Amino acid sequence: MIRIAIVGAGKGGTSLLEILSEDPTIKVTGIADRKKTAPGIRLANALGIPTTSDFTTLLNKKNDIIINVTGSPDVEATLQSLRRHGTEILSGRSARLAWTLIDERQKSQRETEQLLSEYLLLYDLSLKLSSNENIAKLYAIVIDYATDLTRTPAGSLAMFDEEHGEMVLVASKGFSQHFSRVRRWKVRKGGLTTQILNHTGVTLIENLKKFPKYTNPILRQEKVKAIAAIPLWNEGKILGILYVDDFQPRVFSEKETSLLSLVSTIAATTIGKAKVLEMTRLMAITDELTGLFNHRHLLQQLSTELSRTQRYGRPLTLAMLDIDHFKRYNDTHGHLRGNEILRTLGDIIRRNIRETDIAARYGGEEFCIIMPETNRTKGKLIAERLRKAIADYPFKHAKKQPGGAITISLGLASYPENAASPHDLIDAADRALYRAKSTGRNRVCISTTKHGGRGSGTGGQGKTKLKRSLQLP
């Protein structure tokens, strides 16, 4: 360990003391100044380093180096005349050189530590992303790390919807609530999004005022002044754009730009894999023809939603629907045309239900819709809206069907009025559905089954038996 003493506790001596006291390979044995109130003396007292008003006492200690920052020739002469063997005296230019070298060493050490810290953060990001299968959480993690590493107060992540040529906001940080309501925007020619997508590296806009053509109403409202953005590429395909934003004009350093690029590479790889896994999972729970959930997933979700409903004492309504005279349509026009009807019906259902509702193909031409937190009155309004939307849709060859249209019949059952288990709820809705078909079709019927018993209108018959007895297609 190097033993160093400092003569002079003014600005120079204080700076030296700050630098040297942080180095574990150096021991500051003392600091001297005639003024007891000198800033270096106060700092030394705080650090527990010996202080003195008589600099000659420092010569009595074993020191490797004594640094004189007083600039006084008399002090320099005294130090040189009294110095012990093996002690170096640094004064004037030598002292300034030592100060500069030590300062540079400290800066280099701090930069190395900072760089190590940043690479550890990137490693931590990789671990967090690889261990998390929830894609929504992945998006949030990416933004957190991107903003931390670039020291920006806000950021967002938008995924590219190739089919519609739109960007979809999937996560954001540091903005107002209004910002997150803007879920989609078109990729327009000459716009900022197009500029970012066409640039393989980081697009830097350090002051938006200088680029008025890129400033849109949302950015103005959020008072964004500076942007760094980079497209996310995976296996030659664009996934989206990662943005970091500042509310003040700023110059992004080369290191910040490099870190953002590294984050985007890690994020793109992980999100690409997560999307493949998500697609695989969706394929397992989705009906291939209609794009709605399949029978198995419907039963799982109904059990989950009904348990939640019972736990919190809220209503739930289940709708079962069936295409009227669908067998006749298939026999007349063929199964390929029939499949087109089913596929289009799936699209119409998706457009006419709420985000919280769960629609599934139950089997054949039958569909189910789970409506959480919905009583029978509200459920009937939703069902009627769907019924009318389908009856009004211009399906091919619809005019050749009875009534001159493709129509559906719907049966509704609700918790707690009609049933308290998934099986009983489906059974009650099924009975209401076949009452709708037996009384004229193209209508909505609400279950009359009482919770804990059979309702009127079916005589307790099962669906297969009921179909056979009513001879309904």
Residue 466: which residues within 8 A CB-CB, separation 6 or more?
Answer: 431, 434, 458
**Confidence (pLDDT) at 224:** 92
Q: What is the pLDDT of residue 277?
A: 67
What is the CATH topology of the domain spanning 135-282? Answer: Beta-Lactamase (3.30.450)
Residue with the bigger pLDDT between 127 and 273: it is 273
Q: Which is higher by pLDDT, 389 or 457?
A: 389
441-468 pLDDT, tens digit per residue, is: 999 999 998 876 444 333 344 443 334 3
pLDDT on residue 259: 84
Torsion of CA 130, 118, 26, 31, to 10 degrees: -130
Give the span between the Cα atoms of 136 and 8, in whole angstroms: 59
Task: Look at residues 456, 374, 381, 358 and name the one whose alpha carbon lies nearest to residue 415.
Answer: 374
pLDDT at 32 over 60: yes
| Residue 317 pLDDT greater than 90, yes or no | yes
The CB-side HSE value for 339 (13 A sphere, CA atoms) comes to 7
pTM (2 d.p.)? 0.51
pLDDT at 34: 92
Tell how strand 65-68 and strand 2-7 pair up.
parallel
| pLDDT on residue 111 | 59
Half-sphere exposure of residue 316: CA atoms within 13 angstroms, side-chain side: 27
Whether 2-103 shares its CATH topology with 135-282 is answered no
The DSSP H or E segment spanning 207 is none
- Report the share of the chain in percent with pLDDT over 90: 47
Average pLDDT estimate for 239-243: 92
Own/partner pairs, 59-63, CB within 8 angstroms, 24+ separation: 59/83, 59/84, 59/87, 61/3, 61/5, 61/29, 61/30, 62/3, 62/29, 63/3, 63/4, 63/5, 63/29, 63/87
CA dihedral 117, 123, 124, 127 (to 10 degrees): -170
- Reading phi first (left if > 0) and then psi (alpha if -120 to 50, else beta), residue 440 is in left
Say if residues 341 and 395 touch (Cβ distance below 8 Å): yes
| Residue extents of the structural domains in the chain | 2-103, 135-282, 295-470
Fold assignment, 295-470: Alpha-Beta Plaits (3.30.70)
User: What's the pLDDT tens digit per position in 91-108?
Assistant: 766 666 566 656 666 665
- Show the CA angle centred on residue 298, arms to residues 292 and 300, nearest 5°: 140
pLDDT at 179 over 90: no
Q: What is the DSSP letter of 290?
A: T
Long-range residue pairs from 306-315, CB within 8 A, at least 24 positions apart, any chain? 306/415, 306/420, 306/421, 306/422, 306/425, 308/372, 309/372, 309/373, 309/415, 310/415, 310/420, 314/372, 314/373, 315/373, 315/374, 315/375, 315/376, 315/414, 315/415, 315/416
CB 382 within 8 A of CB 446: no
What pLDDT score was predicted for residue 457?
Answer: 38
Give 190's DSSP letter. T
- Mean pLDDT for all residues in the chain: 85
Nearest to 358 by CA among 377, 376, 374: 374
Q: Work out the average pLDDT over 337-357.
A: 93
- Going by pLDDT thresholds of 50, 70 and 90, the confidence category of residue 408 is very high
What value does the mean pLDDT take over residues 350-370?
A: 93
- Looking at per-residue pLDDT, the higher value among 260 and 271 belongs to 260
Check: CB of residue 76 under 8 Å from CB of residue 91. yes
Query: How far from each other are the two terminal CA atoms of the chain, in whole angstroms?
Result: 95
Strand partners, 410: 321, 444
Between CA 267 and CA 285 the distance in angstroms is 26
Query: pLDDT value at position 106?
Result: 60
Q: Which helix (H) or strand (E) holds 5?
A: strand 2-7
Phi, psi at 328, each rounded to 5°: -60, -45
Query: Tokens at residue 318, please?
Result: 């289940």
pLDDT tier at 125, thresholds 50, 70, 90: low
How far, in Å, CA of 209 to CA of 214, rounded? 9
Cβ-proximal residues to 463 (8 Å cutoff; 6+ apart), any chain: 430, 434
pLDDT (0 to 100) of residue 464: 39
In this predicted model, which residue has the larger pLDDT, 193 or 461?
A: 193
Long-range contacts of 124-130 (CB under 8 A, 24+ apart): 125/263, 125/266, 126/266, 126/270, 129/266, 129/267, 129/270, 130/270
d(CA 374, CA 395): 30
At 88 the pLDDT is: 85
Is-contact 31 14, C-beta < 8 A? no
Within a 13 Å sphere around the CA of 182, how many CA atoms are in the beta-carbon half?
A: 18
Residue 274 has pLDDT above 80, yes or no: no
The answer on pLDDT for 347 being more than 90 is yes
pLDDT bracket for residue 341 (50, 70, 90): very high
Span of 90-99, 291-300, 366-375 with lowest mean pLDDT = 90-99
Please give the pLDDT value at position 426: 95
Tokens found for residue 422:
């998934």
pLDDT at 96: 65
Class in CATH terms, 2-103: alpha beta
Of the listed ranges 9-13, 108-112, 205-209, 330-334, the one predicted with least confidence? 108-112
The answer to whether the beta carbons of residues 346 and 369 sit under 8 Å apart is: no
Residue 57: CB atoms within 10 Å: 13
